[in-house]
Chain A
Amino acid sequence: MRISVQEAPFELGAESDAFAAGVAGAGAVVTFTGVVRDADQGGLTAMEIEHYPGMTEKALTAIAEEAMKRWSLADALVIHRHGRLTPGERIMMVATAARHRKDAFEAAEYLMDYLKSRAPFWKKEILAGGGSDWVAAKDADEDALKRW
């Protein structure tokens, strides 16, 4: 299990390959990548991601450990960036490996649902017109936790 909270970009291919190579016996590897998308009406200059150093790592570790307990996983990986990112840049990735795909898919969704609402990150959209907005949490994200 690996958790990384970092400002630097990551290489998706290299991370995926290294993760898969470490779980050679697993029959399924699922990866999900989050990318900075443009604002709804366009004109997003950047996304600033703030986090709570210390708590972030603890929260992500607890979430990943819970996923390892709930599903039969060979391994799990969470990388989440902070700092100033531009549209098209990768914000984060999760990867899960299991003997069977159902475990790997479900655990990856669980990781995503929990880190959206329970890992201390906050996003601020910097708009081309000069304004900025904190991204509000959605009820749907909170509701998503209920299925687990």
Chain B
Amino acid sequence: MDVLYFAWVRERIGLPREQVETSAATVADLVEELRAREERYAAAFADLSALRVALDQELSEFDASLDGVREVAFFPPMTGG
């Protein structure tokens, strides 16, 4: 699936998007897989309360299922306006 990162999450990980091969059942499982990869991922996902997630461009929750999801995006709370 496509995994996208925005704002300081993108800066910490060092790339805006990537293709991830995963069998993670939920967003939280995917986060655990990513955290285990490298320190920069662990740093980006250190505090989930500081993060939001969107599944196929709809805001979602970390316990949500990834079944059928094509695009996951991680970012900090939004600051528009």
Name A's B-contacting residues (CB within 8 A): 34, 50, 52, 54-55, 58-59, 80, 91-92, 112, 115-124, 134-137, 141-142
Chain B contact residues, CB within 8 Å of chain A: 4, 6-8, 54, 57-59, 73, 75-81
Q: Which residues of A contact B78 (CB under 8 A)?
A: 116-122, 137
Known A-B contacts A52-B6, A55-B73, A124-B7; A116 and B57 likewise in contact (beta carbons under 8 Å) = no
**CA–CA, A114 and B80, complex, Å:** 9
Given contacts A120-B73, A137-B78, 20 further A-B contacts (CB under 8 A): A34-B81, A50-B6, A52-B57, A54-B57, A58-B57, A112-B81, A116-B78, A116-B80, A116-B81, A120-B6, A121-B78, A121-B80, A122-B78, A134-B7, A134-B8, A134-B76, A135-B79, A136-B76, A136-B77, A136-B79
User: Which chain A residue shows the least CB distance to B73?
Assistant: A52
**Min C-beta distance of B62 to chain A, whole Å:** 17
Q: Which among A120, A135, A136 has the highest number of chain B CB atoms within 10 Å?
A: A120
Q: How many contacting A-B pairs (Cβ < 8 A)? A: 69
Give chain B residues whose Cβ lies under 8 Å from the Cβ of A55.
54, 57-58, 73
- 10 residue pairs from A and B, CB less than 8 Å apart: A52-B75, A54-B57, A55-B57, A80-B80, A92-B81, A117-B77, A121-B81, A122-B6, A123-B79, A137-B76
- B54 near A118: Cβ-Cβ < 8 Å: no
In the assembled complex, how far is the CB of residue B12 from the closest CB belonging to chain A, in whole angstroms? 11
Which residues on the B side are within 8 Å of A137 (C-beta)?
A: 76-79
* A115 and B81 within 8 A (CB): yes
Rounded to whole angstroms, the CA-CA distance of A125 and B58 in the bound complex is: 27
9 A-B pairs with least C-beta separation: A137-B77, A121-B80, A122-B7, A55-B57, A116-B81, A119-B80, A115-B80, A135-B79, A134-B8
